[in-house]
Structure 1
Amino acid sequence: MEMTIIQAFRPILWFARRIGLLPSPLRRTVDRLESLLVAVAILLALAAVPFAVAAGRAVSTGVQHTAAAQAAASTPVAATPVQKALNVPPVPTTRPVPVVWTLPDGSVHSGQVEMNVGTSAPTTVTIWVDRQGRQVSPPVGTDQAGRRGTVVGILTELAVILALTGLVALLRWPLNRHRAAGWENEWRIVGPVWTKHRI
């Protein structure tokens, strides 16, 4: 039972030893403060992970609601190109091609669709139109909503890490000055003994 408890706490002890929280005669108060500062920053970064995940999920849900609203306000229809995507130098991979489409009420509309160069005229393409028959962008897909949420979650966590890193660096500056002053004071005592030089 004792070995199990020790094994359970071994990662915690390792972490505490690595960042200098365990007592040591070689560590000064300023060193322990610095170690505590780094430990708190690491714990805050870990604590921010659920909030980053929640932010990503919120964005993903919002994008899905927007996509649902777009899908409800638009309809896919088959559009027929009236000409071929001409191969005119300089040659891009796609060109705008005039297309026509017919709504269920029989009205004919026209617009342009980006098509691969050389696509034959009889080919139909799916476009999205609103209730008035005007061409609109297709609704955002579920996979896009998931990707946007993931990106937002990662960027949120990175922002927290960068902010904590900057804060730690800012707070370490006075600690380093204090440590350097302590070393200088102690060298005034020890230096003459070692170098036989009086300061």
Structure 2
Amino acid sequence: MRRTTDLVEAWVALVALLLILVVTPVAGAVIGSFAQGALQKSVRDQQRTRHLVPATVVKKLNRSPLEPDPESSTTRDARSRVLADWTAPDGTAQHGTLLADLKSPHRGDHFTVWTDDHGRIVARPLDSVTATTHAVLAGFGAAMMTVGLIEGGRRLIVWRMVRRRYARWDQAWDKAGPDWGRTGTGS
């Protein structure tokens, strides 16, 4: 015995499966492609505007009173807080407190820092491989979100169908009355 709602539920499941198989890869590829384009543009912009310049230690400073993570020995041991001089790409002399990749810096030691065009310290520019990795992750995330939305939609439809089915059963029981199945009630 097959109810109409069972057939509809099977069709909803089939449509959801087909949507997952077709729409998910397309959504992942489209979002990944957009992310790749935007991130590669950012890579080019950062590589054009960020420069690796030499800096010279003026003096070693005490450790920062507020360590970002006092338990992290690798960060503490690998970098030293120093007062340094460097020349910006635009030719201006700069002076300030930096973190140097020197274990025991001394006056006159040299190290490199990333700066913008005006000599302000900036983070290392994004590289192409990292940008591609982020784009792939964005595409994968979009694909998984698409699967979640389709499956959530399927479950919502089935839930509403089951609620309607139960409501119809309740109406049928109410119509049959409280005496259904008892002897002498005319049923």
Task: Determine if the TM-score, normalized by the shorter chain, exceeds 0.5.
Answer: yes
- 1:2-53, Cα deviation, whole Å (9 max, x unpaired): xxxxxxxxxxxxxxxxxxxxxxx5x422112112112211221222212212
1:134 corresponding residue in structure 2:
120
2:163 corresponding residue in structure 1:
177
- Mapped to 1, the partners of 2:99 and 2:43 lie a distance apart of 22
Greater RCO (CA < 8 Å, at least 6 residues apart)? 2
2:40 corresponding residue in structure 1:
64
- 1:80-116, Cα deviation, whole Å (9 max, x unpaired): 2323353476764256432211357864322332346
2:16 corresponding residue in structure 1:
41
- Mapped to 2, the partners of 1:130 and 1:104 lie a distance apart of 8
**Displacement, 1:60?**
2.0
Within 5 Å, which residues of 2 pair with 1:1-199?
25=1, 27-47=2-22, 48-84=24-60, 86-87=62-63, 92=70, 93=76, 96-103=81-88, 107-115=92-100, 118-121=103-106, 122-180=108-166
- Mapped to 2, the partners of 1:38 and 1:147 lie a distance apart of 33
Structure 2 length-normalised TM: 0.70
- Mapped to 2, the partners of 1:89 and 1:178 lie a distance apart of 65
Q: Secondary structure at the match of 1:81?
A: strand
Taking a change above 3 Å as real, the CA distance of residues 107 and 170 of structure 1, as seen in their structure-2 partners, is closer
Identity of aligned residues (%): 26
Q: Would the aligned equivalents of 1:84 and 1:118 in 2 still touch at CA under 8 Å? A: no
Aligned residue type for 2:138: V
Aligned residue type for 2:6: D
- Mapped to 2, the partners of 1:116 and 1:126 lie a distance apart of 9
Q: Secondary structure at the match of 1:38?
A: helix
Structure 1 length-normalised TM: 0.66
Q: Which runs of 5+ in 2 are unaligned?
A: 71-75
Q: Would the aligned equivalents of 1:86 and 1:118 in 2 still touch at CA under 8 Å? A: no
Give the count of matched residue pairs.
172
